[in-house]
Amino acid sequence: MKQDEAADTLEDDLIFIHQLKCSLKKKYQCVFEGITKQGDSTLLKNIYTDLYITQGCSEQVNTEHEVRQIEVASRRHESQEIPVECTKMFEAPEQDKQIRTVLTTGVAGIGKSVSVQKFILDWAEGKENPDISFMFPLPFREMNLKEKEKLSLMDLITQFFPETKGLNLTRRNKFKVLFILDGLDECRLPLNFDGNVTWADISSPASLDVLLTNLIKGNLLPSALIWITTRPAAASKIPPDCIDQLTEIRGFNDAQKEEYFKKRFMDGNRAKEIIDHVKKSKSLFIMCYIPVFCWISATVFQNILEEKRKNDLKNNEAGDSSKTLQESNTEDTPKTLTQMYTHFLRFQIQQRRRKYDGEYAPDVSWDKDAILSLGKLAFQQLEKNNLIFYDTDLEACGIDASKASVYSGMCTQIFKEETGIILGTMYCFVHLSIQEFIAALYAHLFLDKNKTSVFVQDSTEQENKNEAMIDLLKTAVDKALESDNGHLDIFLRFLLGLSLQSNRRLLRGLLTQQDCNDQNYKEIVQYIKQKLEDDLLKTAVDKALESDNGHLDLFLRFLLGLSLQSNRRLLRGLLTQ
Q: What's the 3-state SS for 278-290?
A: HHCCHHHHHHCCC
Q: What's the 3-state SS for 230-243?
A: ECHHHHHHCCHHHC
> What confidence score (pLDDT) does residue 166 get?
85
* Pairing of β 225-230 and β 30-31: unpaired
SS3 307: helix
Q: Residues 346-375, buried b or exposed e (16+ Cβ, 10 A)? A: bbbbbbbbeeeeeeeeeebebbeebbbbbb
Angle at which helices 518-530 and 469-482 pack, to 10 degrees? 30
Instruction: Give the span between the Cα atoms of 11 and 494, in whole angstroms.
Output: 59
Determine the length of the chain.
577
CB-based contacts of 116: which residues, under 8 Å, 6+ apart? 137, 180, 182, 227, 229
Q: Determine the CATH number of domain 2-31+51-249.
A: 3.40.50.300
> What confidence score (pLDDT) does residue 29 get?
87
Task: State the pTM of this model.
Answer: 0.73
CB-count burial class (<10 Å; 0-12, 13-18, 19+) for 285:
middle
The residues pairing with 427 across neighbouring beta strands, listed in sequence order, are 389, 417
> What confidence score (pLDDT) does residue 574 get?
45
Sign of the torsion formed by the C-alpha atoms of 280, 281, 282 and 284? negative
Cα–chain center distance at 131: 32
> What confidence score (pLDDT) does residue 441 get?
95
Average pLDDT per 10 consecutive residues for the chain, totaling 577 residues: 52 84 90 53 73 66 46 54 84 77 89 90 93 94 88 94 86 81 91 95 95 97 95 89 93 85 84 83 81 87 82 65 48 81 85 62 70 92 84 85 61 59 69 89 92 74 66 85 74 86 84 68 71 56 55 51 39 45
> What confidence score (pLDDT) does residue 134 get?
94
> What confidence score (pLDDT) does residue 63 get?
40
Cα–chain center distance at 258: 21
